[in-house]
Amino acid sequence: MQTILTLNNLTKRFGALTAVDNLTFTIQKGNVYGILGPNGSGKSTTLGMVLNVVNKSGGDYQWFDGTMDTHEALKKVGAIIERPNFYPYMTAKQNLNLVCKIKGVTNEKIEEKLDVVGLLDRKDSKFKTFSLGMKQRLAIASALLNDPEILILDEPTNGLDPQGIHQIREIIKNIAANGTTILLASHLLDEVEKVCSHVVIIRKGKMLYAGRVDEMNASHGFFELKCNDLALL
């Protein structure tokens, strides 16, 4: 199996608060991973560290086989860690064209990626006419423009209506089925169960479980978690 990302006692402190506390796990190619934990448990901070936008306080992470520096490695990563932000008066296609220029990737795959997220028929619509779900789907298309090895999503369905949530989850599953590794952060157990094959459960920055989703309830006593997505413990 090919390793995409390894965390080794990765730690982040904000003053007296240890937001991420010695996280250790490995992401293997082809799987769909969830980082599951209630709000404030350290999910976004963890993603921020491996994406090199948050400085780590301790431990380490390694992309791929460790032979590339982080800057090079991140060219093979697609990530959405903020609300989708595009130019409102430009079309979907024009916005992605701009992303290609900024990222220095070819614009030949724009329509292919719009198709992946079900927006090909809206390629000439202005971004400002898009629903929140469509904006999020455009962000996913944007993150796929470089044909990443792994797609990282932070709370990809937050704020969406049930139909929008369903669409995003189906798109993530399709992307995974085509061989792209996925890492998503979520506070929803139900989201992880529906989308992910593997999960890392964290609370207050500490890892409670890392393993297969279909083994977490039976073997680790997390069954009661089903009762309440938000109050994980």
Which residue ranges make up the site for Mg ion (CB under 5 A)?
43-44
Q: Toward Mg ion, which CB reaches closer, 44 or 146?
A: 44
- Candidate residues 6, 11, 41, 167; the one interacting with ligand ADP per rule CB under 6 A: 41
> How far is residue 146's CA from residue 157's CA, in Å, rounded to a whole number?
22
Q: Toward ligand ADP, which CB reaches closer, 14 or 87?
A: 14
The DSSP result for 94-157, as a single string, is HHHHHHHHHHT--STTHHHHHHHTT-GGGTTSBGGG--HHHHHHHHHHHHHTT--SEEEEESTT
* Backbone φ, ψ for residue 95 (5° rounding): -60, -45
Residues of this chain, 42-71, that bind ligand ADP according to CB under 6 A:
42-45
Quote the distance between the C-alpha of residue 208 and its chain's center: 20
With CB under 6 A as the contact rule, which of the stretches 11-19, 67-75, 81-89, 90-98 interacts with ligand ADP? 11-19
* 230 token code pair: 């938000």
Q: Toward ligand ADP, which CB reaches closer, 42 or 148?
A: 42
Shortest distance, CB of residue 231 to Mg ion, whole angstroms? 17
Residue type, 118: G
Shortest distance, CB of residue 142 to ligand ADP, whole angstroms? 21
Element (H, E) at 58: strand 58-63
Cβ neighbourhood burial of 38 (10 Å; 0-12, 13-18, 19+): middle
Shortest distance, CB of residue 83 to ligand ADP, whole angstroms? 14
Residues of this chain, 120-149, that bind ligand ADP according to CB under 6 A:
none
198 part of the interface to ligand ADP, by CB under 6 A: no
Which residues, in sequence order, are CB contacts of 45 under 8 Å at separation 6+?
Answer: 12, 19, 20, 54, 205
Site mask, ligand ADP, residues 93-122, x = CB under 6 A?
------------------------------
The contact set with ligand ADP (CB under 6 A) reads 14, 17, 19, 37, 39-45
